[in-house]
Structure 1
Amino acid sequence: MTTPAIAADTRPWRDADAPPFISIRNITKKFGDATAVDDVSLDIYRGELFCLLGGSGCGKSTLLRMLAGFETPTKGQILIDGQDMATVSADKRPTNMMFQSYALFPHMSVERNVAYGLLREGMSKAEARARALEMLQMVNLEAFARRKPHQLSGGQRQRVALARALVKKPKLLLLDEPLGALDKKLREKTQFELIRIQESLGVTFIVVTHDQDEAMTLATRIGVMSDGVIQQVGEPREIYETPTSRFVADFIGSVNMFEGTVGPAAPDLMRVETADLGAVAVPPVSGLTQGQTVYLALRPERITLTRSAPEGRNDVVRGLVLDMGYVGHLSTYRVRLENGRMITVTQSNRLRDEDPISWDEHIYASWNPAAVRVLTQ
């Protein structure tokens, strides 16, 4: 394998002077009175595996189709490698698109499916065949070159579609829910295959997905979309650990959210008064005023459950375990606090003792101040 296109210590988006490979500037797309994409601006860098993440109807696929040239923006500008795409038709753009359905030709062999686009462009049969076999080797399907699509598994068809999309050596590959048709186990395996192929070729990938786990696994960065707007852009860890809004915190993983008001500040901590948890200590946040409404986001895995009250901890609440779900590597607890509020807690089963906490137990839930994320919107 060649060196990854984006090395861990050379993330270009952290360099204010790095030129973007794709510049999306104030793009809006309307269908009649409905706005699918609303004034989106976004920079994506060469060699990235960028994920557009959001629920159905959020505008992510429409944005992808505008990059491909299948939809025309109502207003705004798209530049790819410095070239304005406004007058460039879909077939002339340095892009290729892989659809969720794969759209393979059922009457053609795997090899002919992959070579089809090259032959349409006038490449000789010998050269097109050689290029197709090279791509099939890349996706570990050279032994299946003469088979028809119906003779392949879902994962194999997905890799044929990927080979066909890459065979023309696009600068940018657009993938619309590429793993959506696969079962959970195969999808997880294929995610790492996709990363390996992308790193080997150095092609920039933009992946549209509604699956948070998929985006977190694949992406160099994620753009979270809702209602046609990019809500936050960041590296997976940044999106999960430091969301900038309640929407992002709730959309990515599971979270317990509490409303409160800003209380007095100390040198190293700030107090937030809440109805559900009482006074909560949190790291200081600049720009807040006393009495201001804020929201506290607390991930379930950052909460600790104990049978006795932990010593030296201020942020402790008492509750009753109502439900417990065992999912192998972890257990999920639904705990009703004394004021009736429900919270969710997850604990690793690797850390559980011989007498784990179970249903109908009175417990104490505690956390460190650093575990709490303070949000203003």
Structure 2
Amino acid sequence: MTDTRLAADTRPWRDAQARPFISIRGLSKRFGDFTAVDTVDLDIYRGELFCLLGASGCGKSTLLRMLAGFEKPSEGTVTIDGQDMSSVPPHRRPTNMMFQSYALFPHMTVERNVAYGLLREGMRKADAMERVAEMLKLVKLGHLARRKPDQLSGGQRQRVALARALIKQPKLLLLDEPLGALDKKLREETQFELIRIQETLGVTFIVVTHDQDEAMTLSTRIGVMSEGEIVQIGEPREIYETPATRHVADFIGSVNLIEGRVDVAAGDQMRIDTREAGPVLVSPRAGLSRGQTVWIALRPERIALSRSKPEGTANLHRVTVEDMGYMGYLSSYRIRLPSGRLLRASQSNRLRDEDPISWDEEVWASWQPMACRVLTE
């Protein structure tokens, strides 16, 4: 996806002098003996669509609730737009929060649901309805203004909740699993609608999700969380291509992890001795010593399969196809190395192949040294 929100040369997190819009320092939250969020430091910049990604129970929703003011930190500080939020109650913060359940009022029409917050604050009805009409036009629901929630689809209810969260013009919108109630196809369609709305309004979004594809599609940057800590922050491509740990590599996309020991570096390649895949040539990584235990992270799409033996390939194995699955745009394979180790491989179905590689075939599997990411933890 082309990122039109923040051009490459204006991404503020790449500028050491840029001032963050949200600054989190040493933030922790404990519930009795259980630490839900553990000493988090994080900067988020104005106009970002930042995703907190992690498995259930990793602390991402608790972190979001502390930003909103619904949970009080055990330690640490949160600053939004230069203001310390320590003593600011939720209703006084420049934030709004959208929950997975949407929490729409079933007895109210769409326009009344969206107008609710404005009317409660005492805005004149005519002014409120004018703003509501503009917001419903933005989320493409103007023609459904008089319907009630039970007359809407899941995606339409999601957009009503989004309009209600944005109508008060918060500086920061917090979204907790905003697409979790939608089916797969509708989720994919709604992701791009969410991006369009965020681009149009320029509001900073922080999205909590456990869905890696959703985070990769939506975000300017991703913070991967595990056991209350943020273990890596980066742009989607950086998180996928250069994971910092085995946990990140395994959580983001599909990956083969092969344990080995550093043998020798020669020129522009390094050899890793592995029990399961023999000697593997990789691109060198600084800071490694001979004999050190490492793990090679190899994405399935980096493994090439062919019936004919490729020439001049560094990492080459004769393998057996154990399983395969046709997924339309790609074919997914489980291949068995001579050692017995199963690897996952995938190939794009760009062309109609009348004789694709299939079950029980013996084929050649190969990958380039630069396809390997060497991890130390």
Query: What is the TM-score with the length of structure 1 in the denominator?
Result: 0.98
Q: Supply the distance in 2 between the matched residues of 1:301 and 1:6 (Cα, whole angstroms).
A: 28
Do 2:51 and 2:223's aligned partners in 1 also have CA atoms closer than 8 Å? yes
Q: 2:9 is paired with a residue of what secondary structure? A: coil
| 1:1-377 equivalence runs, <5 A | 5-351=5-351, 353-377=353-377
Q: Which residue identity is paired with 1:36?
A: A
CA-CA distance at 1:9 after TM superposition: 2.8
CA-CA distance at 1:343 after TM superposition: 0.4
Q: 1:123 is paired with a residue of what secondary structure? A: coil
CA-CA distance at 1:4 after TM superposition: 5.6
Q: Supply the distance in 2 between the matched residues of 1:278 and 1:339 (Cα, whole angstroms).
A: 9
- 1:159-195 deviation digits (Å, cap 9, x = unpaired): 0000000000000000000000011111100000000
Q: Supply the distance in 2 between the matched residues of 1:127 and 1:328 (Cα, whole angstroms).
A: 50
- 1:188-245 deviation digits (Å, cap 9, x = unpaired): 0000000000000000000000000000000000000010000100000000000000
Do 1:262 and 1:291's aligned partners in 2 also have CA atoms closer than 8 Å? yes
CA-CA distance at 1:350 after TM superposition: 1.3
Between the two proteins, the alignment pairs up a number of residues equal to 375
CA-CA distance at 1:338 after TM superposition: 1.1
CA-CA distance at 1:6 after TM superposition: 2.3
Residue ranges of structure 2 left out of the alignment (5+ in a row): none
CA-CA distance at 1:351 after TM superposition: 4.4
Do 2:314 and 2:369's aligned partners in 1 also have CA atoms closer than 8 Å? no
Q: Which residue identity is paired with 1:191?
A: Q
Q: Supply the distance in 1 between the matched residues of 2:5 and 2:259 (Cα, whole angstroms).
A: 42
CA-CA distance at 1:132 after TM superposition: 1.1
Q: 1:165 is paired with a residue of what secondary structure? A: helix
Q: Which residue identity is paired with 2:132?
A: A
Give the superposed CA RMSD: 1.1
Do 1:195 and 1:218's aligned partners in 2 also have CA atoms closer than 8 Å? yes
Most deviating of 269-278 and 47-56: 269-278
Do 1:4 and 1:200's aligned partners in 2 also have CA atoms closer than 8 Å? no
Most deviating of 127-136 and 88-97: 127-136
Q: 2:350 is paired with a residue of what secondary structure? A: helix
Q: Supply the distance in 2 between the matched residues of 1:196 and 1:64 (Cα, whole angstroms).
A: 23
Query: What is the TM-score with the length of structure 2 in the denominator?
Result: 0.98
Q: 1:316 to 1:26 in 2, by over 3 A?
A: same
Q: Supply the distance in 2 between the matched residues of 1:363 and 1:120 (Cα, whole angstroms).
A: 68
Q: 2:359 is paired with a residue of what secondary structure? A: coil
Q: Which residue identity is paired with 2:344?
A: T
Q: 1:223 to 1:151 in 2, by over 3 A?
A: same
Q: Which residue identity is paired with 2:183?
A: D
CA-CA distance at 1:53 after TM superposition: 0.4
Q: Supply the distance in 2 between the matched residues of 1:211 and 1:344 (Cα, whole angstroms).
A: 21
Do 1:245 and 1:376's aligned partners in 2 also have CA atoms closer than 8 Å? yes
Q: 2:6 is paired with a residue of what secondary structure? A: coil
Q: 1:133 to 1:228 in 2, by over 3 A?
A: same
Q: How many percent of aligned residue pairs carry the same amino acid? A: 73
Q: 1:189 is paired with a residue of what secondary structure? A: helix
- 1:126-166 deviation digits (Å, cap 9, x = unpaired): 11111111110110101111111111110000000000000
The ranges of structure 1 where at least 4 consecutive aligned residues each deviate by more than 6 angstroms after the TM superposition are none
Do 1:4 and 1:202's aligned partners in 2 also have CA atoms closer than 8 Å? no
CA-CA distance at 1:279 after TM superposition: 1.0
Q: Which residue identity is paired with 1:318?
A: R
Q: Supply the distance in 2 between the matched residues of 1:250 and 1:352 (Cα, whole angstroms).
A: 31
Q: 1:332 is paired with a residue of what secondary structure? A: strand
Residue ranges of structure 1 left out of the alignment (5+ in a row): none
- 1:320-357 deviation digits (Å, cap 9, x = unpaired): 10111001010001111111100000001114643211
Q: Which residue identity is paired with 1:172?
A: L
CA-CA distance at 1:309 after TM superposition: 2.2
CA-CA distance at 1:311 after TM superposition: 1.2
CA-CA distance at 1:261 after TM superposition: 0.6
Most deviating of 143-152 and 304-313: 304-313
Q: Supply the distance in 1 between the matched residues of 2:42 and 2:281 (Cα, whole angstroms).
A: 36
